[in-house]
Structure formats: structure tokens, C-alpha cells
Structure 1
Amino acid sequence: MKTIMPKNVLDHKDAVILDVREVEEVQAGRIEGSTHIPLGLLEFRLHELDKLKPHIVVCRSGARSGRATAYLTEQGFDATNMVGGMNEWQGTTV
């Protein structure tokens, strides 16, 4: 599985940042410009994602995003897990 450190995420301007946390978690703050699809709904909303773009997957600690990254990779996406999740994010949130 491909991984990326939080400090390097914004260097990938062409990537979709996919936040797979629950609604309550996202309301506390998310990376600006990120797409929110809770992990439990990912398989049902997969059609909303562009397979031609790379995806960086984010959750609170990195565990759920790891599962989502593995699933997306199995489905033919270029997906990368953000190590440490939002717990390690030092950038601004909206």
C-alpha cells in the first residue's frame, strides 16, 4: 500500500483528498478542498470518484483510510493512505 506523510499531501495538487471519517468528525474540521465519503458508504458512492485522478485517503488515525486505500486500489484507483490521519495533520482545516 502506498503511503504519504501529512506534511507532503498538499504538494500533490492533482490528487483528490478523500476523507473517509464520519460526519461528526468532519464537522470538527477537514482539509480544505477534500471530498467527504464516510468509509461505510464508499462502495455505494464509488461512482462519484474519478479513476483517472490519484486519491489521497484520510481518516482520524490512518486505520480506516488504510482499509479505504486497499479497497480503492482493488477497484483500480491510484490510492495512497495518509499516515497518522488527521491526528498528525499540521495544516489548516475548514
Structure 2
Amino acid sequence: MLRRCLLAAFPDRVAKRREPRGRRAVMVGGRGVQLAESSGVRDAELFVCLDTLDTGSADSLVRMASAIEPHWLDSRLIRTTLDVDFDEQRERV
């Protein structure tokens, strides 16, 4: 029950592993994260990032996370998008 409450409280902090059992993941919105070695979240494909630390590298460090189940996500609220940005300085997409 607590894990479902955490998902309801922080839906913007859901992350999906890049590889099964890997420490690297991507959060909703595209932010890269990496689970701390001490994390108890071992096997879950999805988790909620409760405490993150910007380390200055490409991925923020997730110091506290909670595993969630895929079927807990409301499929009506999930959408896939392709975002394209134009870099005016480099004049490239």
C-alpha cells in the first residue's frame, strides 16, 4: 500500500531501467538517473525516485527509491512523444 501511495504522490518521478537489473534508468521527462549501489531496488523494472542528487554527471544519483509494479500505472495517462528541439546556436535539430 505504501508503494502505491508513493507512486500517487510522485508520478513525475517514475523511472524505467535502461537494462534489466542495471543501475541506470530514465525518468519521466527524459532525465537520466543511476541507482546508488546501496539501493534495495534490485529487480524492479520501474521505480519511483524519492531522493536524487545532481552529481554533475549525465545521470543524477538516486539515493532512495521504491519499486513499483507496471500494472499500477494508469494506461490512459501514459503517452509516447517524440520531442524535437532546434539548437539555434548550432543551427541543428
- Report the TM-score, using the length of structure 2 for normalisation: 0.34
State the structure with more CA Rg.
Answer: 2
Larger fraction in helix = 1
Larger fraction in strand = 2
- Report the TM-score, using the length of structure 1 for normalisation: 0.34
